[in-house]
Amino acid sequence: MEKKGTVLMQRFELGRLLGQGTFAKVYLAKNLTTGQSCAIKVIDKEKIMKGGLIDQIKREIFVMRLVKHPNIVRLYEVMASRSKIYFVMEYVKGGELFNKVAKGKLKEDDARRYFQQLVAAIDYCHSRGVYHRDLKPENLLLDENGNLKVSDFGLSAFKESSRQDGLLHTTCGTPAYVAPEVINYKGYDGAKADIWSCGVILYVLLAGFLPFHDSNLMGMYRRISRGEFKCPQWFTPEVKKLLSRILEANPIRRITVAKLMENSWFKKGYKHIDHTPPSSPQTRILDPSITDFSAGFDDEAGLIKPSCFNAFDIISLSQGFDLSGLFEKDSNYSRFTTKKPATDIVSKFEQIARTESFRMKNKGGKVKLQGVKEGRKGQLGIDAEIFEVTPSFHVVELKKTTGDTLEYKNFCNTELKPSLKDIVWAWQGSDQ
């Protein structure tokens, strides 16, 4: 169980609890390398698997890696242990916009500024084919400078997930903020549904209460379906006219993001926001580095999931039963066994790559080493695949993929094998 002072992956120290839900807790944390603050969302693997939320978490990782905008909370990194998944995110100090609204309506200029930043972020998401689908004040955070940051992409959808009709069909979101076409179980355009939610948020910021509020849920749904709402007397004519175009029950007639951003009320004092993510030491160090967004569900800490050996493979490892000579005539192939965990094996290859000037890629226990020096037949390339026999016993298969065979053998004998000697239990292969 995580608690204050816990150090994760020897890199992040957890601080106080910022919030929690059914499946996750969010902590303030410190990057031990840079000393900078971040937020870490700790997700319980067992709970999300029982809840059938694996795909939702994977989608959230994928989407948050895709969207990088000043008004969207940044996902820096994803890490995993056997039981938890950790989202390392930007820490937004100002809390939820909801807390401001709970104290009463905002001044028009303040509401407009937050609305401008919200629409700019959503316009950016839509340009990347991402639809948020759960926009509400609770999911809008404020930084120390009072700038808005959109968070929680757990219910988001990607354009590719729509059916052949080009529409989304999953009913989701918070009832008071969802568009009529969503609650009517019709296929809907994710962009138009997000715009509706933005309109409800604008109304709430200016009024201090919901436009379709009803003590009965079905009554609220009926009002939403018909687009029935009244503006308070303090709303200006410009705001009333704009809201009538955003909270239009018919999505075909509803204003688009592009048209909304051309509106005279919206444009007042609007500053164009640069889509380029801000450069900072923390951003560079914590750039999203998860190789595959599915990797957060792997068993090993880090991003490693070795393949499994079958019964025939295991028999072939036994002394007196090594049948590799019958099948493996390729002199570019070798294999070793080790009692070290997969994380140690990958770390050793990382060390070799640094020492011997190789570029390295690791994807789920498959390591690729690519030399930067030109040999007789180009750059030397080596693949290493990790197989799990038992949690404490692994087999690693090495194979030359590019370059000269003689140079490969020389590298194995003079550099690779001596570097691996402290983790190797036994070597096998056609050249042994």
Active site residues: 134
Query: How many helices and strands, by DSSP H and E, does the chain display?
Result: 16, 17
> What pairs with residue 131 in β-bridges?
157
- Is 91:38 a contact under the CB 8 Å cutoff? yes
Q: Is 339 annotated as a binding residue?
A: no
Cα–Cα distances in Å, from 271 out to 71, 110, 131?
A: 13, 14, 23
Pick from 64, 120, 85, 54: nearest CA to 273:
120
Q: Which residues contact 323 (CB under 8 A, 6 or more apart)?
A: 315, 316
The values of phi and psi at residue 26, to 5°, are: -115, 125
Cα–Cα distances in Å, from 398 out to 303, 356, 387?
A: 20, 17, 11
3-state secondary structure of 71: coil
How many angstroms separate the CA atoms of 251 and 349, rounded? 55
Tokens 């923390």 correspond to what residue? Answer: 282
225 burial level (CB within 10 Å; 0-12, 13-18, 19+): middle
Helix (H) or strand (E) holding 166: none
Instruction: Decide the pairing of beta strands 130-131 and 84-89.
Output: unpaired
Q: Please state at what angle helix 190-207 crosses helix 237-246, rounded to 10 degrees.
A: 150
Q: Which residues contact 400 (CB under 8 A, 6 or more apart)?
A: 332, 333, 380, 381, 382, 408
How many angstroms separate the CA atoms of 156 and 150, rounded? 12
Q: Which residues are annotated as a binding site for ATP?
A: 41
